[in-house]
């Protein structure tokens, strides 16, 4: 049985290799201080969808909210083997998960008979693991989070493996469902997620990507749906622990050091 998947993908700040502070005095990210990249867990979600497609066929539609800042996530999906891509024309950086889930639920409903919606669980942007759950609620579908692999999709059910403390559990969930993907199993496979295919790049480089406006999704003003806002960010500098050494035979020095440490010197 073929299985149609929708993958929600996001472009996020690239927090690797930082030089200097990225926050200004008011606690906002300095413009130009960060590059962006394809959210790695979303990339895993795409890989899971591509594996389902490899095994049993079906269509993969990638959906993203917002205009690309630096990385064209939707085009990257096409280069890796997604069949279609849809861009929702709204500024994701000013929307919270509620507003995003309303827009995305409407966009998912516009795709042709999706069986599964896949996305990354805890994404660098918000680190709150909410989008999958809220999207499921908006669609009135079931939701499983921290999933590392989709093992089978058959008989109106998906069987997924999810990470729990010290192990895994296998969960069965009815179709259609929203599944939030984690990192663990794919991290064990050095070939995952698969790279872009050069041939697809050549063919899809100029393919126009259809755009859906909030109005077409039945939302007049997405910003009006926003309820939660980040008002400030603070960075906590990592604690530096200085080690001290004394000769273990030298009891006097040991005593002095212990005294100093206990007195908090």
User: Hey, CA dihedral for 246, 250, 256, 259, is it positive or negative?
Assistant: positive
Shortest distance (Å) from residue 22 CB to another protein: 12
- Indicate whether 29 belongs to the interface with another protein (CB under 8 A): no
Other CB atoms within a 10 A radius of the CB of residue 12 amount to: 23
Nearer to another protein, 73 or 116 (CB): 73
Shortest distance (Å) from residue 154 CB to another protein: 30
Look up residue 29 and give its DSSP letter: B
Shortest distance (Å) from residue 204 CB to another protein: 11
Q: Is 179 helix (H, G, I), strand (E, B) or coil?
A: strand
Pick from 111, 109, 68: which is nearest to 86 by CA?
111
Shortest distance (Å) from residue 194 CB to another protein: 9
Pick from 12, 210, 258: which is nearest to 124 by CA?
12
Binding pattern for the stretch 137-176 against another protein, x by CB under 8 A and - elsewhere: ----------------------------------------
Q: Which of residues 196-215 bind another protein (CB under 8 A)?
A: 196-199, 201-203, 205
Shortest distance (Å) from residue 79 CB to another protein: 9
Nearer to another protein, 59 or 75 (CB): 75
Name the segment binding another protein (CB under 8 A); options: 117-125, 145-153, 157-165, 190-198. Answer: 190-198
Radius of gyration, alpha carbons of the chain: 23
Shortest distance (Å) from residue 104 CB to another protein: 27
- Indicate whether 30 belongs to the interface with another protein (CB under 8 A): no
CA 103 to chain centre: 17
Shortest distance (Å) from residue 116 CB to another protein: 27
Nearer to another protein, 72 or 96 (CB): 72
Residues 6+ apart with CB under 8 A from 35: 13, 14, 70
Q: Is 23 helix (H, G, I), strand (E, B) or coil?
A: strand
- Indicate whether 20 belongs to the interface with another protein (CB under 8 A): yes
Nearer to another protein, 21 or 93 (CB): 21
* Distances in whole angstroms, Cα of residue 168 to Cα of each of 128, 149, 171, 227, 237: 22, 11, 10, 35, 34
Nearer to another protein, 152 or 209 (CB): 209
CA atoms of 9 and 43, how far apart (whole Å):
7
The residues that touch another protein, with contacts defined as CB under 8 A, are 19-20, 195-199, 201-203, 205
């Amino acid at each position: 049985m073929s299985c149609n998947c929708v993958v929600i993908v996001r472009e996020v700040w690239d927090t690797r290799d930082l030089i200097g502070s990225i926050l200004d005095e008011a606690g906002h990210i300095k413009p130009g201080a960060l590059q962006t990249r394809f959210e790695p867990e979303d990339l895993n979600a795409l890989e899971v969808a591509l594996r389902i497609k490899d095994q049993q066929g079906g269509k993969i539609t990638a959906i993203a909210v917002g205009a690309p800042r630096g990385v064209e996530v939707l085009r990257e999906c096409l280069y890796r083997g997604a069949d279609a891509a849809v861009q929702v024309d709204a500024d994701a950086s000013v929307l919270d998960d509620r507003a995003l889930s309303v827009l995305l639920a409407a966009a998912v409903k516009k795709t042709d008979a999706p069986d599964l919606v896949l996305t990354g669980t805890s994404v660098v942007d918000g680190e709150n693991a909410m989008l999958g759950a809220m999207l499921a609620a908006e669609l009135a579908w079931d939701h499983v989070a921290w999933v590392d692999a989709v093992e089978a999709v058959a008989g109106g059910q998906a069987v997924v493996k999810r990470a729990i403390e010290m192990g895994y559990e296998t969960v069965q969930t009815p179709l259609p469902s929203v599944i939030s993907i984690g990192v663990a199993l794919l991290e064990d496979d050095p070939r995952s997620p698969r790279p872009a295919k050069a041939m697809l790049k050549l063919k899809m480089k100029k393919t126009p990507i259809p755009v859906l406006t909030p109005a077409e999704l039945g939302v007049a003003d997405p910003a009006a749906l926003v309820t939660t806002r980040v008002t400030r960010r603070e960075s906590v500098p990592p604690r530096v622990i200085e080690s001290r050494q004394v000769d273990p035979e030298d009891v006097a020095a040991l005593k002095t050091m212990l005294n100093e440490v206990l007195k908090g010197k």
